Amino acid sequence: MQELVVATKNKGKLREIKGLLKGLDLSITSLADYPSAPQIDEDGLTFAQNALKKAATLALYTRKLTLGEDSGLEVEALGHGPGINSARFSGENATDRKNNLKLMRCLRNVPLSRRQARYRCFAALVDKDGIVDTASGQCQGIITKRARGKNGFGYDPYFLIKRYGKTFGELDPAVKAKISHRARALRKIKKILRGYLKQHNPANKSHRL
């Protein structure tokens, strides 16, 4: 079975990715399975740069097929911030709680009519020979004034989907798995992986006698 290493230590993100790639003939591991892997400094200027750096660094170390993913929240009223700094929004020792408290402080005097936001995701597949392919996805929403629901992680309890009238924190995970930024990017990655696995399956290669 082909191994896919996901370049993350985020348990919530890994759980979502495993669910979105369910059905593929893959053994999915993560940075937690490679404790001696080099530290990856996410110093890119875009989600794409960070995703590619994570995937390439870990692929070079493990010599295995690797998925790098970078995602974050962009709020119009904050100049599309926190963006690539979403996970570190509240500083060096950031947590989901601290990030959300800072988000609420920054939007304290901003009315709901000006709280438009979007989640963005960029994913990159890299193996020992180089970049396999990339994909991206996004999801539009509004930032609420208080937390709603306990599902998901990150900013999910504050990210309202108008169509459902619920935040990602309230939505059934099965619904989120269809409409989220990560779901949209990973659907493309799943299609790419199907082709990759077919191409790299020894049983599908012809052998000369």
Q: Which residues are catalytic?
A: 70
CB 54 within 8 A of CB 7: yes
Q: Could you tell me the two tokens for 129? A: 């020979």
What is residue 83's DSSP assignment?
G
C-alpha closest to that of 133 among 195, 201, 87, 46: 195
C-alpha closest to that of 140 among 114, 174, 117, 173: 117
Q: What is the DSSP string of 40-86?
A: -----SSHHHHHHHHHHHHHHHH-SEEEEEEEEEEEGGGTTEEGGGG
What is residue 13's DSSP assignment?
H
